[in-house]
Structure 1
């Protein structure tokens, strides 16, 4: 058995034996064989080369094998040492055991015996290295999951035994406040006993529970999480603990509730103004607004989902390569498959929403860019009284045709560009300015061949290191949320129209300018 990356130190004072054995070790077993003629020389070369195995004669001048072994074990007790001796001596054997020497070989040496014994230690070292590598990989995968998901573990009585930092951030509790407490510490009173009994019943049946849970933070605020809770079984198929992976979906719920409110307000307003015969048209308009909002929601979901799915598949690949003797392998494989099923289910929902919200990339139509801008602001609007359009404070009730800036565009795609830029500006303002100091000024102008829409905020500007690559995928200045593909999508939409997006900083913040051709590339291609 030849090992290309395991080394040995051979110490022998007999010149002929040293030459014979070292030649055998070099040609048959090891790439690196370090040779010494006494214990002192052996200890020196051990310190220099740090070999994986030591094979040494017992009786040598200057420093014998026992003394050298004692010194080596003091440096690294895990280095395997084999001593060569002429006969069995009780006191020598006892001393070797006390030092921690792994074994003895008796003269005259049999090369077959030497090879057999050393092969055992080579295999052991290789196994230990492989195990450490696998353990290191699993730790890295655990770190990735800890970064991307909230994780908790409880015993069979619901007592918390492990939490990661994202869960502490989500719940508002510290690890010390959570460990040893019942998981009900975050339960929300709005949840019924029947709801929790459904969860417990599923877990008692040794099945995985998936669903959305409303919980309560330490400060009393409510939050929503998407959870996958799985029972962990021992070798007797008994439940020993439960592990839960969670995603904070509070923002998604908030957007959903806000969307419901806006749709309701719009319908009520139009019902008052329109005749009974227009009810059907109002219903169609409602679904149209839902479709537009779905486009923004799917982007925000798909960004972290792609990251989680890619890393999960890498983890499953490495779990598959684990030694079958590792009892946790089957559990890890089963749990990973369950998690992947959940991720794929979310991915399918997101893709369905994307298809619902998308529009055909056909001919552009002459449309009022100002009207599309107002639509985008309505979709992005939360509580932003600091937004102005053409020097007038933005209001949801603004007349979409107050100004006319006509260009041939794909209306929903241009609105998507505006939404991306507006949301980025609102995020920057939220992070860098108090509410009363925030400003987002939007203006439109007719610039010969283009309609130019300018977005100017006082949110502190764009990092100069990122500015040259701001429209590249995966470039983001955000502290949290998103991985930086929104502006890349916006740029590609504008390129499809034959237009452009330019970004620059000024004294207080950033300026984005969208150039929309009055005669678009889409129109030319048709």
Structure 2
């Protein structure tokens, strides 16, 4: 849950940081766009002024050459009042025609001359006088100064330089108008610039370019309103995924036409500065996102590591507490002085930690243990670096107790031995139970001797030998419930006592049942008929609790009329031990859904009446197959303490046959015994 919460928290932090980066970078990018547009406006203005100055210089050149330097045209104009207009016009044409042809190469579109009374004297295009030109001429006549105006003629726009003409005595003579087509100025701009230009007339403006179509209708309407208000406009548009700058610069507002003339400038090249800025911030964005991911990943890993460390520390604390409370552990230096003990060790020894720390380990030595034992212990420990065995100790109050210990070296950072660790197990109860077991075995041996004298059926040495093996096997099997009882006793302080009492009760019942079986095992009942169905039912009933605990089901199919001459308790031991073997194999291989199926058939071959018992389980395991095969094929007493071996001994004792069909998926046990039909 904590890890999931950490993931969600860091994801939220990441999203917030990412949003902040996006907003901040967009702010910087917009600011950079703004600075660029201002710079772009200055460049456009500068290039336009340079081009405009070029045309202005041409007009100055014409004016200087023809009306300052050339006295012929001045003299002709002086005679405007004395001669008729037509003759003056012809004379001007004769003197000015060649020059005009040359000036047309300088992109001069038209030249007109007006008298001081605002009468047209000369027009190179022979166009009639219009009101706009008349208004310009009146201004020049009134103020005797140069005037620069823009004329709109249908779709064309003209740049007009209107200048007063004076004689050498500065007497005002006439007005000359030099007209240049604005398109030629646009062409001249584009030749000397990286940008593209267009002229825009506000009252005849249409958003017909493709890049205007990408604008929203609201932005298009705002643009038209701004142009009609004579407002300079700078914006960024997109055309075919390329962002580019667009500048509307007001050149002139005409009161006569009631409109404005704009110079439109834009840069559609793929590597324009807007694209570069946009790409730069995209790279910055990717870089910062990568840095952000790395930073949050590192913070996440650090915090995750801290959480794991806290979790492990907590686990180690709990583990140490368990070890301290339930494990017998003692550490010593090289001289055997105690440096550390657990609470459980203090509990069994009767000493407190303060009483043990710093004392020599010999404080626990029992008087019955010789010095040679400990000399050999230390010698083996120095040679083999490890010692394992049983030691008899004495507690603070003089009471004896047994422990099983494993002692191994403790190293420092330089791999030098600085002391020894010892893990111990209290086996006092086990020792006491072993003593009981020894007495029981002696008593059983005495009973066996009595049986050998009384029972004539056991005179045969082979049968006595088999019985000896059976008794050895049974004796060893007693150790199993006894050991389990000892183990459960040791857990009384650690676990719920009710569970342990139930486990001990189960093992005592197993021991009791086994002793009862021994009690009746050698009774003289050979003439007695044994019903096989009763034997199987009672065997299953005796193991029901253990089978249920392991989740094992047992089914059987045996006719009630099948009898055998084998004594009841002997055949019961055969069935019981095979079932116990299957139970043990199921637990060892951790098998689930285990089913044991028991069936019996009778057969008559050559006049002999026999019964064949088949016990089949579905326990899976490679080790199981190898283990069972090895038991059944063994010729020595290596496996005398196993359930399967004991069943084999009982079968052989009664002259039966025992074989097994064994695979890794299931096992079938076959038992062939002498059978007796019911009458």
| Normalised TM-score (structure 1) | 0.37
Larger radius of gyration: 2
